[in-house]
Homo-oligomer: A and B are copies of this chain.
């Protein structure tokens, strides 16, 4: 297997299993001399953390990151940055029955078929906890932008939770929280839609043929566990619009800030559809999973976005 590396210039190498000793990430391509903002790192990781309310999973993750390499006296060395997080709360007993009965909607059986050998405990490598690695990498990517004094902002919102539309919420309103608490009690689960806005992205990010910015964003988002759809700009709605209407409005609205695969400097917007989490019924309750992945997905979407932006920010240095 060789598919745990993401990116071309700014590369993240993700490793770890849910009930193994640790998760971690190696970042290859971090330029030297970037100030390391550990507060930002912790902050981003905490937003992804479960156990923040009874509408999310009960698993307690303390998630203390340890930087093993690449940083010295508060700045990056230009060498690989490695960060690990120990898996402390491993009640693997809860997962014993999974070995016998693969969970509906999970990938346990698929992995077993593919690799003939699988760590069944809590999804092993396929656990959502792997997204921790992406949040860590995204934080370092974000530091590159900060260091360059770019005013780029990346914000992911919940736009829909199950059947309920929201007004670009970075935090869930109370009625949605209690909707999810009920769902949790009932062993029910919901998907949703996340919208992400990138403000003040530099121009020229993206390559014209195969690493179009929209294609890399799509690959990054569709690489998240429960994601079933990706659209940017006018998205699926663009199919039904007349060309004379579509192309008459200002750049950013319909084009989503990307033209010819390349950022135009306008606001970049994209939307991502998540299916309902697979952990429902009795097993789910014991497995302490989320009734809806959206709240915890927001920082992960932002992190992958930062990684992709950083990749292309370094890439344009060799364009001309």
A residues near B, CB below 8 A?
1-6, 8-9, 11, 13-17, 20-24, 26, 28-33, 66-73, 75-82, 84, 104-107, 110-111, 113-119, 124-126, 130, 160, 162-163, 187-193, 203-204, 207-212, 214-223, 227-244, 246-247, 254-256, 259-262, 264, 273-278, 280, 291, 314-320
Residues of B within 8 A of A106 (CB): 259-260
Residues B4 and A72 in contact, CB atoms below 8 Å apart: no
Contacting pair B77 A262 (CB below 8 A): no
State the CA gap A81–B21 with chains docked (Å): 12
| Contacting residues, chain B, for A236 (C-beta < 8 A) | 193, 228-229, 231, 236, 273
Main SS of the interface on chain A? mixed
How far apart sit A111 and B68, CA to CA, in the bound complex (Å)? 20
* With contact pairs A79-B1, A233-B228 given, residues A69 and B17 touching in the complex (Cβ less than 8 Å): yes
A320 interface neighbour in B4, B11, B116, B318, Cβ under 8 Å: B116
Hey, which chain B residues are within 8 Å of A118, CB to CB?
72, 77
- Which residues of chain B have C-beta atoms less than 8 A from A193's C-beta? 236, 239
With contacts A1-B319, A79-B4, A222-B214 known, is A14 near B264, CB below 8 A? no
In the bound complex, how far is the Cα of B125 from the Cα of A30, in angstroms? 15
Q: Which residue of B lies closest to A16 (CB)?
A: B69
Cα distance, A80 to B5, chains bound together (Å): 10
A2: chain B residues at CB < 8 Å are 8-9, 11, 28-29, 207, 315, 318
A-B pairs with beta carbons under 8 Å apart, 8 shown: A1-B32, A4-B80, A33-B117, A115-B320, A228-B238, A229-B230, A243-B291, A247-B280
B318, A208: Cβ atoms closer than 8 Å: no
Evaluate contact between A110 and B262: CB separation under 8 angstroms: yes
Q: How far is the CB of A74 from chain B (nearest CB, A)?
A: 10
Indicate if the CB atoms of A191 and B319 lie closer than 8 Å. no
User: Are A319 and B241 in contact, CB atoms less than 8 angstroms apart?
Assistant: no
> Are A211 and B3 interface neighbours, CB within 8 A?
yes
| Contacting pair A78 B319 (CB below 8 A) | yes
Q: Are B229 and A223 in contact (CB under 8 A)?
A: no
| Given A28-B5, A203-B113, CB of A320 within 8 Å of CB of B17 | no
